[in-house]
Every structure is written in structure tokens, then in C-alpha cells.
Structure 1
Amino acid sequence: MQKMKRPSFALCCLFAFSLVSCGGGPGEEPSKDSSSCQHQFALKSETPSTCESSGSQIYECSLCGYDKTVALDPLGHAFGDWAQEKQASCTESEVLERHCTRAGCSKKEEKAGQEALGHLWGEWAREGDSMKRHCQREGCNAEQEKAAPFIKIISSGEEVSPFLPAVEEYLNAETPDVKDYVRNDGGIQGYLVRFIDTYSEVKEVRIDYSKREDFSTYQSVFAESAKKSCALYNLEKASTYYVRACVQEEGREVYSAIETLQTASYGPRVMKIDGIHNVRDIGGYETPSGRTLQGLLFRGGALSPSTDPAFTKIQLSEEGKEYMSGTLGIKTDFDLRTQAENRAPDTPLDSGLTSSPVPGAKLEYYGVGGYESGLANKEGYRRVFSALSDPSRYPIYLHCTGGADRTGTVSYLLNGLLGVSEEDLIHDYEFTSFSIYGERNSKGGEYHFPQLVSEIASYPGSTLSEKTESYLLSCGVGEEEIYNIKAIFHGQKTKLSLSCPSHFDTIAESTLTLQVKGGFENVTSLTLNGIGTPFEVKGDSLLVRKEDFPASLQDGEVQGAVVIDGVSYSFSFQLSGSSSLIAFDFSSGDIVLNDSKSKISGNVIGYQGKTALFRIKESATHGGTYLFIGSYGVYLRGDGFRLAQRSGDSFSESAPRVYVEGANLPQSKVNGGVLLGVAANALNEKTIRLEIYADKVKLGYHDFARVEDEIPSEEARFELAISGDVAQASLSSPQSAD
């Protein structure tokens, strides 16, 4: 319906006029004919307008009753101020609204306010194999996810070799001549480990490796992330290693999955140790009794500069010392040279090392040669293999200067004894050709390897192992010692070795010491000539005090027995005491000789074979010392004993100079303290034999023609005098120390 406008002022006047002129006056009946009525309208009713709806007014003619409707326009909304209806969020804009203020109107309007805020993301964090980050705005649960960076070891699943390609070719050739492969870089490249690393910020990757899958113990190396690989050295051959990679991510360690690495079973286990060369493990080879143990004995070159001018820069570094001591646990520095060889060029002969460059290792010298000429020194090789039978010495570092010839000879004998194949023995010997020490060729040449092989082959036996054992037995190496060497390298229990001194002097000594090699748990009893005797266990020694000896023991052979871990071991020694006498009266303590007192007369010893015993406790001397029993004596100077003569109360060296054969005693040992013994024995009416002992070992003797003015036996005292250039000597009772 068309809306009507409000009547104008003119229209209202006209309307009022019509009221007057409708045809009747006030109070008169309106005309029935409205068309002719001069209407007089009055407001009859009104419908008010609202904000959105039109209103109306109805007017009625008072004359004729005619109704007339006038439309009213809508009022329109009277909105208040805009107000926030909903805050802006990460994904939605702010909503504003306003309401109409007219009574009864509920109309409202909305519009967008501030735009959506966007997410306030936190830091990316690893959750499993993914990286996630979460919106930090209160009430927002939005998250984002992406693939996490990762580190992975690439495993080929195949046996891995540490050798350089040329050396690999040599080891796998049927009949190689090592001269065609000689090099000086060690021959190895290490065991190559490859990895994938997708961490953009990581510069370094740590590679852990262990023989234990739980990594309860492991070693590590570091590699540049960009290189995607690294080399592992010194792994045991024919072994399974577990390998993992590790990176630092936001202060925590992230590990790769664990992969396995199978090391090659052929060739020697070559070691890379900083500062030294030509090092390899002597174990790890197949034998009829199984693969020999690794990590027990390492062969190699010198640990420090030697007299060979070509190798003056050899020096185990601090890193090498830490590795040999801490990782390998070397206990014994087993030097096949003499002490005089273990020194730098142009240094004094006596400047050879007295302690090992390997921290905590005991340095032992053996002074043996190599090849067939070295084998002739059977006593030297007896000492070497007797020592190798002692499990307490392991792990051992065995060496000479280059670790090639003397070391190669001992290695050949040891692995030959264990049953290592001829091919492996040759590879082990020739591998020196890949070091700075030069070619060693089993086919011959400058070095005598063929002669060594031929010499061992001449001994009885059907196998190299049996022939080697025959040679060692001929050297005096005991069957028990050979058994223990085999047991050590095959991981079997060794037999105990019990050693006892051959002689015990109750005058010079206070304690009998039995050495037990091989380790034990319990010692239950000890007897001497069948009589139970008290003892003390101290480390690997059994100590028996002479006060605890059975009273029935007499000079002569004593048979003993000791039960260790349920097994009885026998021993024997010669007991003496009635044949020894203390040289001087030490009841007032030690005796000091110096410039003011250079001679002393002791107890009567006589010519019946009694031994005068005393101990030089310390001596600061560069001169000589006279030792006399009655009319007969010797002069100790330098490293030996010379004949001396008596004139009244004076002593002098005999002329011409004559040495007591075999009686050698280094002056350094005298200066440091030694137990000395001198005995005079009248062999017949014409001869007196003078015998000399040091630390209970007979050094030598000389037969003197008896002199006409001989001091009678019953008056023959022991006398000692120091020469004029001796500063001081301190003498003590032989019982003051063992």
C-alpha cells in the first residue's frame, strides 16, 4: 500500500473549512451524501510509527461520518555507539555491534573490527619422528607439523676392510712379492663409516662404536657433518661392532638408529697410535684351537728416539700415551734391546731409559737378537718366553727399534707356537714393509727371514707349532710355561707357577719368599720337610719368616709343599746358616767409613770355608774397596774384582793386574746397596780359594798360593778398607734387609 504523507498546514486549513461547510451546522444530522459534504474531520485513532514500520492516523468527518486515513512514515532506528561483541582471534576478525535505543526495538548491527591476529607460533620441538610447534595464544589449539631432521648410519651389511686398495690386493694375492707393494703410510685407511645428516645447523657429528649393543662402554670419534663419513681405527678384526651417530639439538643429544659393522677377518690388526709406527696386534689369527685373543700383546717400533740416526724423531705423543695406558691398558713395556740402545744419538751409554714412556707400564729389557743368529742366544729367549708365560704382565707392548727384526722373530715364534698358518705368519712379518721402517721380505734379501724359518724347521715335530715348542724347550722354557702361553692367548685358565730361591741363608736373610705366577684365590697350608709352617700371603708372594722355620731343620736341602686352590705344589731349597758368619760387629748400628776412618777389622772368619757376610747399605764412591780374610783379599773397583796383596797392615792391588774371572759387579749396584759375601777355604797345604758372593749369588773365585807369613786361620779376621778417593761407605748387618 502506498504510504501517505502527513497533511500539510494548508490542507489542514482546507479540511477545517470543509467541516464548517458540510451542509449542516453543529448538532445537525450529517448529510448522507458525503460527496456533497463539507467534511469536518477530527482524529479518530492513531497507529504510531516504529523504527521500521509506518504508522497511520484515522480521521472521521463529524458531519457525515466519513473516515479518512493518513499514513505516517517509519521513525528509523536510533542506534547507540559501536561496542565489541567478539574479540579478534588467530583466525577470525574482531566483531563490533550496536543496538537501537528506541523502546521495544531489538534491532542491532554488526561489522568487522580488527583483522584476524594470526597464530603466535612457539618453537619447533621434536615429537617422535616429527617436528611440531603450537600456537601460544590462550585458547588456541592450533599446531603445525613437519618432518624432523635426522641422522642415520648407512650400513652396507658387508664385511668392512681397513686396508688401502694396494695392501688389500697384496693380502688377497696368491703368491705376492711384497717388494711390489712397499709404501710408508701404514697401509690402512681405517674402517669407513658413512652417515646422512639433515640438520642444517649441525657442524659436527659424533660417531660412537662399541662391541656391546647396550653401549655400556664405547669409544667415540668426531666427524665434520659436511663430509658425511669418518674412519674408525684400531677395531678388533673378525668382530661385530655396534655403531650410532649423535648430534646436539637444543642442548640435548639425538641418536641415530644403531647399525652393525662387521670387521674383516683377514690380515693383521693394524694399530694407529700417535707418535709411533709399525704397530699391530699379535692376536686375532685362526689356529686349530680357535682364533687367538686380541688386545693382549701389541708389537711395534720404538716408543722414543733411539741410537739409530734415521729414527731420532720417534716419540710417543701425549695422545698416544693416554691411548696406550688408558684404552689398551699396557702393563709391560717389553723391550728386546739393551738399555744402552734405548737412548737418543750422541748421548752417554748409561743414559738409556729406566722407565717406560707409557704411563704406569713397567719397562723390562731382554737384550736379544733376531733371526737365526738371535736364536743361538737360548738363555735370552728362555727369559723372553718365560716372561710371556706370566699372565700378570699382560697387556704387553713388545718392541725393539723398528718392531721388525727382533720383534719379528719373537712374533714368529709366538704365533708359530700357537698354530697360526704360514700365510698369516708371512703377512705379519712383511707388513713392516708398509711402515717407515722399510721392506721386510720373507723371500730373502738383506734380512734373514728364510734362515729363521729354516732354523726352526730343523727341530723335531710334525707341525710348525711342535717344532717351535721343541726349540723353546731346548732353550729351557718349561712345559708349564709353554702351556700357560697357549692358555693365555686362547682365553683358558693358566697353571700356577711356583718359584722358590735355590738357597736360603739364615744369617743373611730373614724371610723365605715364594713367588706364585698365574693368580690364585686361597692358600690352605705350607709344610717344610713335612712339618706345618706358618706363612703370610702378600700379593702374589708367600712369605715364611725364618723364626717360623721348624726347629728340626738343618743345613742342606729342604723339601717344601704348599696347597693353593686345592692343588699341592712342591718346592725345594738349600738351607745354610752354620756356614755363614756376620763380618762385623753391628751391635752399635751401622758402620760408616770416610776420610777419618777408612779401614775396619771385623770378626774372625778363618780358612774353613765360612762366608763373611755384610751389606753395603750405600756408597758415594768413585774409588775402590779392599776385602780381606786374613792374608788373602781382593780389590773391588770399576765393575770387577782384582787380586790384592797384604803387606803388614797395608793393602794394595797386585801387580800385574789380575781380575777374578767372572766376578763382575757394576759400581752403580755397589753404590746403591748390595749384600756381599767373601769366603776363604784352604783346599790343601798350598792353595787358599777365595770365593766372592753378591746378593746370594756366587760371582767367582780365585785360588791363591799360600804365603809364608800367612796369618793363622784362628786369627784370620775379615777386614775392609776404602781407598783414598772414596768419599763414604755405609756398612750394615746382612740381616738389615732381604
Structure 2
Amino acid sequence: MTEQPVAASAAAVEELAARSLGLAGAVNARDLGGYRTADGRVLRSGVALRSDGLNRLVEADLPLFTALGVRHVVDLRSLDEVREAGPDRVPGLPVAEISAVELSDRPLSVSAAGPDGITLHHLPVFAADYDIYVALRDALADRDPAKQEALLGEGRAAQMMIGLYRWFVTDALARERFATVLRLLAAPDGPPVLFHCTAGKDRTGWTAALLLTALGVDQETVYEDYLLTNVRSAAIVEHIVDSFGTRGLMADPSLLLPLFRADRDYLAAAFAEVETGWGDFQAFWRDGLGLEEAVLAGLRKNLLGDAGH
């Protein structure tokens, strides 16, 4: 596997800065606006937003978030992740209500009072066979370097990630959850929509890749958007990995890097699974995701500006 560097070109840093939502507590929160499709149209800014978890928003983030005018927040985290990290901190939604929804085992929604209030949707995407968080917990709970190496070393952590991305495509419930986000973005009263998981990398990255591909953004740009996570999250990843070493939790904390970084091979594995199972993206859209032409038409209407704008 090719290791993706954390360092980025000046152009990538500039691109990320332009897309950043400026939330101190959600460093990977960014706008998908500005990408150009094959027919020359451009994604509008402020309508499709991707992010890491909103549970760490600080007080100064709240007015910035409110100014985004988000109508729908989609939380793709598993129940365990929500219990461990806490519910999203969404201005206008009572924490108690959010907690009740997040602790449900079904996809549920909670809305703020009033016709213009924000709605939170909990759509957990959880793979028992590829649970990164269980693997991480197991690795840290047992400080035995040999066991950590056996769990994560010699490419096993990366293979776990590749398996997860394939599962995004092969699992029927996962496909249904991703399709739900796309339908929400296509609904007349949908955008602005912000979708997120914990790091804004894997489930969020695949959702964004589906959206951009469906709209006709070229594949290299889809990969570039996916890999921007490595730029935005570099400092956090470095801090976490260093802390695991200094706290004595791991003899070789670099074993965790394949879990924490976006890697081109991961996204390529998902697209390869689409081809294997359905032949091409159009067939996957129709038969894999169960989405009709009307959803694509809604996405184009809601998210795309005219050519050159």
C-alpha cells in the first residue's frame, strides 16, 4: 500500500482553507461547493457540507454554525461512538432530545421547534466485522507490543480499512443509509445538508465520493477531495499518535496510522467493488443504491449552478 503523506502542497492547503467551515471543534468540516462537473456546471457553495463529529464544537463555533443555515444534519456514527464521544452539539436542538435520538438503535430524526428549525438524523453505519473503534480499543487496552503488532502490523490495519470500504458497497443496509443521505440532498426542502461521522474520513468520505461522482465530477477530483482529510486532520492525528506513545499505551503508535489517515487505496477498493458487483456507477446508482433518475435530477437542481458560475 502506498502511504499517503500528511504534508500537502501549497495549492492543497489553499484549497482546503477556502473550503473550511472555520469550526474549531470540527477541524475537518468543509464545503463541497466549487467543484466543476463534466458539463461545466459548478457545485454551489453552502448546500452540501461534510464534517467530522459535531460533539466537540466549542462556544465560539455555535454562531458560525448557525450562520451556515443548515437544515439537516446527518450523523453516521455508530451507537457506541455516540455514547463514547457524546451527541452532536447542534444550536437549536436540546441536548436531552439529541441524546434520546442518538441512543436509539434505529435511524430516527429530531427537529427543532418551528418551520425553519434544524433537523438531526441519526443514520448509524456500523460494520461489526470491520469495526475500527473496537480494534483501536483492543489495541490500547492490551499494552503488549506483540499483540498490538499481531492485530495491526504487517499491513493488517490497512487491510481492515480496505475491507471496510468494500463493505460500504456490498452491505445492503449500508447502501440504504448512504442512499438516504443522497435523497435528503435531493429533496426540495433538503439543503443545506451537513453529513458527518467521527473523523469525517471514511463514511463521510464515501458519501461525498458518491455525491460528486453522481454529479459528474471527474474521478481524480473526487480522490483529491477525499484526501484533503489528511491535510485538515494532520495535527490531530500527530497529537493522538504521539500521546499514545508518551502515555505508554503503544510501543509503536505508528501502527495506528492506517486507521487514522485517508488512503487512495481505500477509496479505490470501494469503487472497484462497485464495478465488480454492478459493472458501472450508473447501474450501482439504480440497482445498488436503489436511486431513480428523479433523485439525480433533484441533486442537480439543488446543488449545481449554471456553467461558469
Alpha-carbon displacement from aligned partner over 1:645-694 (angstroms, at most 9, x marks no partner): xxxxxxxxxxxxxxxxxxxxxxxxxxxxxxxxxxxxxxxxxxxxxxxxxx
Q: Where does residue 8 of structure 1 map in the other structure? A: none
Match of 1:282 in 2: 32
2:62 to 321, 340, 344: 321
1:274-353 equivalences in 2 (<5 Å): 274-289=24-39, 290-304=41-55, 315-326=56-67, 328-339=68-79, 341-344=81-84, 352=102
Task: Tell me by how many angstroms 1:302 deviates.
Answer: 0.1
SS in 2 for 1:330: coil
Offset of residue 351 of structure 1: 8.1
Asked if the contact 1:178–1:430 (Cα under 8 Å) also holds between the matched residues in 2, the reply is no
Structure with more relative contact order (C-alpha pairs < 8 Å, separation 6 or more): 2
What CA deviation, in whole Å up to 9, does each residue of 1:36-57 have, x standing for no partner? Answer: xxxxxxxxxxxxxxxxxxxxxx
Q: Structure 1 pair 178/455, CA: closer, same or farther in 2 (3 Å)?
A: same
The alpha-carbon deviation at position 459 of structure 1 amounts to 6.1
The percentage of aligned residue pairs carrying the same residue is: 26
Alignment partners' CA distance in 1, 2:36 and 2:196: 23
1:382 CA displacement: 3.1
Q: Specify the SS of the correspondent of 1:343.
A: helix
Return closer, same or farther for 1:413/1:351 CA change in 2, 3 Å cut-off. closer
Return the index of the structure with the highest Cα Rg: 1
Q: Return the alpha-carbon distance in structure 2 between the equivalents of residues 272 and 419 of structure 1.
A: 27
Q: How does 1:352-363 map to 2 (within 5 A)?
A: 352=102, 360-363=117-120
Distance 1:270 1:476, change over 3 A: same
1:488 to 287, 293, 302: 302
Q: Do structure 1's residue 179 and structure 2's residue 8 form an aligned pair? A: no
TM-score by length of 1: 0.27
Partner of 2:261: 439
**Kindly tell me: are residues 189 and 408 of structure 1, through their superposed partners in 2, closer, same or farther at Cα, counting changes over 3 Å?**
closer
1:409 and 2:227 are equivalent in the alignment: no
Looking at structure 2, the residues matched to 417 and 387 of structure 1 have their Cα atoms a distance apart, in angstroms, of: 14
Aligned to 2:155: none
Partners of 2:228 and 2:48 lie apart in 1 by 17
Matches of 2:204 and 2:220, distance apart in 1: 18
Q: Please state which structure has a larger fraction of its residues in helix.
A: 2
Query: For residues 101 and 193 of structure 2, what CA distance do their matches in structure 1 show?
Result: 24
- Structure-2 separation of matches of 1:400 and 1:470: 27
**Residue pair 2:38, 2:218 contacting (<8 A) in 1 also:** no
Residue 188 of structure 1 and its aligned partner are, at CA, apart by: 4.0
What displacement does 1:460 show? 5.8
User: How far, CA to CA, are the matches of 2:73 and 2:85 in structure 1?
Assistant: 21
Partner of 1:667: none
Which residue of 2 is the match for residue 208 of structure 1?
none
- Corresponding position of 1:123: none
**Cα deviation digits, residues 140-166 of structure 1 (max 9, x gap):** xxxxxxxxxxxxxxxxxxxxxxxxxxx
Amino acid across the alignment from 1:301: D
Q: What whole-Å deviation, never above 9, does each CA across 1:8-50 have from its counterpart, x for those lacking one?
A: xxxxxxxxxxxxxxxxxxxxxxxxxxxxxxxxxxxxxxxxxxx
Query: Which residues of structure 2 form unaligned runs of 5+?
Result: 88-98, 104-108, 127-163, 238-259
Instruction: Identify the match of residue 270 of structure 1 among 2, 13, 20.
Output: 20
Alpha-carbon contact 2:75-2:123 (below 8 Å) kept = yes
Matched, 1:365 2:187: no
Q: 2:188 & 2:66 partners in 1: Cα distance? A: 18
Kindly state the Cα deviation for residue 371 of structure 1 after the two structures are TM-superposed: 2.1
Q: CA-atom RMSD, angstroms?
A: 3.2
Q: 1:326-725 alignment to 2 at 5 Å? A: 326=67, 328-339=68-79, 341-344=81-84, 352=102, 360-369=117-126, 371-375=165-169, 376-377=171-172, 378-434=175-231, 435=233, 436-437=236-237, 438-442=260-264, 444=265, 448-458=266-276, 467-474=280-287, 475-491=289-305
Q: Tell me how far apart the structure 1 counterparts of residues 101 and 215 of structure 2 sit (CA, whole Å).
A: 37
- DSSP-derived class of the 1:363 partner: strand
